[in-house]
């Protein structure tokens, strides 16, 4: 029974493996293309390889895949899919359609270790990291569902699903490489956004590595005292450290930076909160704000801000030269909205 997952091998390792099997080195390029450009899930799919080679590959290697477990469709057109991984763990991905685009919201971990006070995923804890192939597979499978359901493929990918991407940095970046590489899915890097709760040293590493993706910081409060109460990660990654890291990332990559800001009723939605947010935005070049409608989560005491208060908050930001827009929640009726992913699909 094969125990080696062939997708854990890089191009050079794959070439060595072909030689060891008595094959010409160029066969590695063919296999690599089947795995990452054509998204093959079995060796039998690799029809330009000889039957003999396919049999050898079948005997030596495996291709671990994920399968669709449950799909739910919201009345607003949003689709949430729970996927079953090879070891039985479950993750969730979401498709969010608009008139001219379809965004895939993908996961980076099974669960999450950060336990932000407003997020259902945090109640699960972190069960394990996803590997690069599992991250890649989500995009492939969600793209197929998008084509089938909406008639168009994915236009954008956001790492805003289950987990903290920067606590699974190497796997996430390798997965992204398979998504954007010409030898992979060849999606434009600027169509991808990595969202983080705020790991300063890893944001700096993104700058050092020249990451070409967009970056979103889940902010939700513009002063340390308030942010500490809802996001424990802020106690070791305060706003000063995050601002320094974001500026470094921008200096190295010129990547777009967005602050994600969920409005909680009478917690972070006052004029004073808006003023603090304006001051923070002015410290980060080109920073814009996505104001997010809060979605109810079991065991969480917060409620969402009313519409009038929300509009006043956004208008104040825009009057003060901060580009801000509201991101209305999608898929709330199927627990697919921001902060609701917790494998509750029935």
Residues with catalytic function: 92, 338
Comparing C-alpha atoms, which of 295, 305, 302 is closest to residue 74?
295
- Please say whether the beta carbons of 76 and 331 come within 8 A: yes
Tell whether the torsion through CA atoms of 78, 126, 67 and 40 is positive or negative.
positive
Q: How many CB atoms lie within 10 A of CB 19?
A: 12
- Please say whether the beta carbons of 156 and 193 come within 8 A: yes
- Please say whether the beta carbons of 151 and 81 come within 8 A: no
Per the DSSP assignment, residues forming a β-bridge with 217 are: 196, 259
Please report, for the chain, how many H helices and E strands are present, in that order.
Answer: 10, 14
Tokens 């070049």 belong to 285
Measured N-to-C along each axis, helices 200-208 and 239-253 cross at an angle, to the nearest 10 degrees, of: 10
The tokens of 175 are what? 């997965």
Burial classification of residue 76, based on how many CB atoms lie within 10 Å of its CB (0-12 exposed, 13-18 middle, 19 or more buried): middle
> Which are the contacts of 16, defined by CB distance < 8 A and separation ≥ 6?
none
- Residue count of the chain: 346
How far is CA 272 from its chain centroid? 31
Per the DSSP assignment, residues forming a β-bridge with 195 are: 216
């Amino acid at each position: 029974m094969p125990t080696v997952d062939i997708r854990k091998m890089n191009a050079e390792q794959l070439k060595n493996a072909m030689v060891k099997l008595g094959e010409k080195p160029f066969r590695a390029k063919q296999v690599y293309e089947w795995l990452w450009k054509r998204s093959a899930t079995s060796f039998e799919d690799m029809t330009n390889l000889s039957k003999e080679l396919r049999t050898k590959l079948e005997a030596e290697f495996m291709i671990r895949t994920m399968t669709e477990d449950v799909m739910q469709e919201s009345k607003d057109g949003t689709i949430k899919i729970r996927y079953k991984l090879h070891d039985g763990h479950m993750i969730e991905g979401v498709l969010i359609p608009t008139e001219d685009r379809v965004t895939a919201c993908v996961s980076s971990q099974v669960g999450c270790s950060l336990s932000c006070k407003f997020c259902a995923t945090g109640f699960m804890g972190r069960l394990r990291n996803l590997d690069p192939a599992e991250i890649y597979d989500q995009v492939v499978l969600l793209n197929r569902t998008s084509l089938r359901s909406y008639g168009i493929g994915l236009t954008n990918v956001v790492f805003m699903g289950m987990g903290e991407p920067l606590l699974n940095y190497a796997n996430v970046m390798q997965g992204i490489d398979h998504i954007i590489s010409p030898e992979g899915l060849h999606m434009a890097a600027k169509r991808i956004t990595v969202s983080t709760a705020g790991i300063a040293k890893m944001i700096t590493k993104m700058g050092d590595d020249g990451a070409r993706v967009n970056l979103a910081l889940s902010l939700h409060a513009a002063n340390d005292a308030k942010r500490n109460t809802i996001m424990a990660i802020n106690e070791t990654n305060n706003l000063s450290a995050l601002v320094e890291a974001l500026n470094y990332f921008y200096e190295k990559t010129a990547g777009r930076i967005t602050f994600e800001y969920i409005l909680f009723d009478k917690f972070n939605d006052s004029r004073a909160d808006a003023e603090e947010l304006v001051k923070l935005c002015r410290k980060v070049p080109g920073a814009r704000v996505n104001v997010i409608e809060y979605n109810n989560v079991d065991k969480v005491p917060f409620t969402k801000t009313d519409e009038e208060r929300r509009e006043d908050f956004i208008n104040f930001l825009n009057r003060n030269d901060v580009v801000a827009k509201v991101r209305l929640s999608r898929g709330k009726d199927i627990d697919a909205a921001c902060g609701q992913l917790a494998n509750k699909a029935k």
